[in-house]
Chains A and B, each alone.
Chain A
Amino acid sequence: MATHKIRVEINGAEREAEVESRLLLVHLLRETLGMTGTHIGCDTTHCGACTVLLDGQPVKSCTVLAVQADGREVLTVEGLEKDGQLHPIQEGFWQEHGLQCGYCTPGMMLTGYALLQKSSDPGEPEIRQAISGNLCRCTGYVNIVKSVQYAAAKLRSAQ
């Protein structure tokens, strides 16, 4: 069985692991490293529950090999909070009731976070387009859109 020694910067910290070629990034996070904030939903590249940022871009970690992340940066939901302070995107989901069951929430927040890196004041169509690869079966997306806009406003006011 072929294994590879990989080094990945996860939420700002260097992590090393010896992984099988076929290990998926989501399994590296959840099983090898015990970081269960990233969820597995459909496991078939549809739902976006497993979304993480790879070098700043939102991707579905069920469809990336762990070994492909070697030498790269990964941001997961565990990396959003800093020093006990929720990131504005997390605060937005709290304030605007952007979740019900919470299953899609880590992925939604990371996709929203990535959108706000390149667009400081996105309108509803832009947000809905950005999250169109992340499925939510509870909210009807209305409050998720409001949550992202809450975060956008908060980030703008902090500048």
Chain B
Amino acid sequence: MSTKNNSTPSLDWPAKTNHVPKEVFEMEGLWEEELKNIFYGEEWHPIVHRAEIPNPGDYKAAQLGEINVFAVHGDDGEIRIFQNTCTHRGTSLVTESSGNKKELECPYHRWLFNLEGDLVGCPGDREFSPDFDKKDYGLLSLRVEAFYGLYFATMSDKTPPLKEYFGESFYEPLQRLLGGDGRLNLIGYQKVMYDCNWKAYCDNDGYHGALLHKAFAMLNWQGGQGTQIVTKNGHLCFDSELTMPDHVEALEDGSILDFKGTETSNGSIVLMSFPITVYTKHMDMLNIRYSFPKGPKGVEVHYAYFSHQDDDDEMVRHRIRQSSNLLGPCGLISMEDASVFSRIDKGNRTQGDAIFQKGVKDEYDIPLEVGQTDETGNLARWERYRELMGFERRAK
């Protein structure tokens, strides 16, 4: 590692596209550049689904990079996302992860904002500076776009419109994952801190599935058809058929794996949007994983689970059972991922490169057509990361 301009870290990036330098995970000084170039750059970040804050006054706190934000459901029915700060002296306005407020009052000097973010009261304003105008002191709002009830925020005015940013190969399955029409109900969260750099967390691939997750093999649960579609700007979509066994001998209660099926999926959709968010629809689980890097080390993941408004009681109960037992930090088919995140983090504090092999046809190419069980679907994302960070690739 060396540094350019005395502060910006520089990396010697390998010529081969299937090699990623291990230093990239936790190198000193990198996180600040990632904030500037990626998290505060031209990217869309999911913050909240309408189902999480269904009523006026409902709010949810989140982070975008290191900036505290909150989404709030206005009296006018609109959902807005604000930086969590009073426009006077900067005091946090929301101090709990979620809740309901009729208005937003800063306790310090009692500046009062309505749910639409307007400053509606500030004691003693006759003695404020001559040019003071309440209209100039509304809450700091973020640019927002919604997709079937899922609200994305961006820090940049230059970010392309959401659909253009994702492309149809990503947003079409996302629509199916959101129940087809976005009419969802929140059924709960699982929140956890993973002991790894954020890039290790979202570097999961198509190769590991049936190899790492023994449950897949024990349940005779593989062999369905599927595709893996990669976009040039690093988004990834797995759309796979699940061929479920008639009888699950490995488990006493095989009903946990029932695929009651809706018309929106062949069984499994996994989406990864740049830079860090994973969305899944395995069987009957509808899951968004809001992910918050805690600097270079550690990533906090909030698994949010949903049912559909048209579900009957039995379907809701089924979704609850699956969501609680199959995914997340204790899940039958996902706990091993968390273990690998931690191991990758430790293992990458060694020399050399992390290497991708499965599916590589040309070590100097970035493939956008990728087989279902290949790991080359991640290379477009690494390439986008490299470009945004300004790391030059070594000559061939």
Co-complex (A, B): no
